[in-house]
Amino acid sequence: MRQAKVILVDDDALVRTALGRLLRSAGFKVAAFDRPQDVLLTLLPRKNACLLLDIYMPEMTGIQLWHELRASGFDIPTILITGQRDAHTEQYGKQINAIAILYKPVEEKQLFEAIRRALAQSAR
Q: What confidence tens digit (pLDDT) does each residue in 69-88 have? A: 999 999 999 999 999 988 88
pLDDT above 80: residue 2: no
- pTM for the model stands at 0.95
73 burial (CB, 10 Å; 0-12 / 13-18 / 19+) is: exposed
Closest C-alpha among 65, 49, 77 to residue 10: 65
Q: Look at residue 121 and give its three-state secondary structure.
A: helix
pLDDT above 70: residue 1: no
67 to each of 28, 73, 113, how far by Cα in Å?
Answer: 25, 10, 24
Q: Where are the domains of the chain?
A: 1-46, 77-106
pLDDT above 60: residue 18: yes
Q: How many angstroms separate the CA atoms of 77 and 69, rounded?
A: 12
Edge-to-edge strand list for the sheet holding 100-103: 29-33, 5-9, 49-54, 78-82, 100-103
